[in-house]
Amino acid sequence: MPVNKEAYFRIKAELDANQAVLVAVSKTKPVEEIRELYALGQRDFGENYVQELMEKADLLPDDIRWHFIGHLQTNKVKLITPFVQLIQGVDSLKLLKEIQKQGGKGGRLPECLLQVHIAQEETKFGMDEAELKEVLEKYQAGEFPQVRIRGLMGMASLTDDKEKLRSEFKVLKRIYDDQFPDKVDRTEPGILSMGMSGDYRIALEEGSNMVRIGSLLFGERS
């Protein structure tokens, strides 16, 4: 199925108006479809599986900025740190330690978002606020010199209840505001990655500056 170009241009314009970054989530989709969006100017793409990401990165242009948005196993970290732009789902101290270890080996420092658990479902990965605080304190104390923590990422509950989605995004924005601007030393603007195909408008209204959109662009995944 071809990508939905109309949707792409419409979403891109909406995001530009909000100064938010679009990550096109291409998991399970073939490289031809990624090329179609690339030809329209899209450079940020998100993938969930290490093997799939590596195979695609090999076949596609070098100036694509790959975002790893899935749950990353520690034994796979070293496979992606040499080339990935942003590891979005850092959901434990253990994982951050491994990224730190691998980060010392390449040229540029791996950039990460810490994933915060905001959804009701138990199955979604992420730290609670106390864990996040602990990790950020260690980071500020200099424990992870080979990693750059750029911001936070979160996934809302799988629901059509708009008020519920909104309240979960509000929680993440509040945590971001509390933990990020003054407490973390950074030289570039912070990243708050929230919003997907079904809820990105609400996420933007609640302060997101990066959204991860798959099915609206590529169609439903089987």
Ligand X SMILES: *Cc1c(COP(=O)(O)O)cnc(C)c1O
CA-to-CA distance for 101 and 216, rounded, in angstroms?
37
Of the pair 77, 217, the CB lying nearest ligand X is at 217
**Site for ligand X, residues 175 to 204, rule: CB under 6 A:** 196-198
State phi, psi for 108 to the nearest 5 degrees.
-90, 155
110 counts as binding ligand X under rule CB under 6 A:
no
Which of 200, 193, 130, 192 has its CA nearest to residue 165? 200
DSSP string, 88-141: EEE--HHHHHHHHHHHTTSSSPPEEEEEEE-SS-TTS--B-HHHHHHHHHHHHT
Q: Site map for ligand X, 62-81, x if CB under 6 A? A: -------x------------
Of the pair 146, 197, the CB lying nearest ligand X is at 197
Question: Contact between 215 and ligand X (CB under 6 A)?
Answer: yes
Contact range with ligand X by CB under 6 A, out of 8-16, 53-61, 138-146, 207-215: 207-215
**Between 62 and 220, whose beta carbon lies closer to ligand X?**
220
How is residue 114 written in tokens? 């810490």
Does residue 154 bind ligand X (CB under 6 A)? no
- Letter string b/e over residues 54-92, b meaning 16 or more CB atoms within 10 A of that residue's CB: bebbeebeeebebbbbbebeeebbeebbebbbbbbbbbb
Q: Which one of residues 50, 155, 156, 204 is an interface residue with ligand X (CB under 6 A)?
A: 155
Number of residues that bind ligand X (CB under 6 A): 12
Token digits for 207?
Answer: 């302060």
Near ligand X by CB under 6 A: residue from 22, 25, 192, 194: 25
**Site residues (vs ligand X, CB under 6 A):** 25, 27, 48, 69, 155, 196-198, 212-215
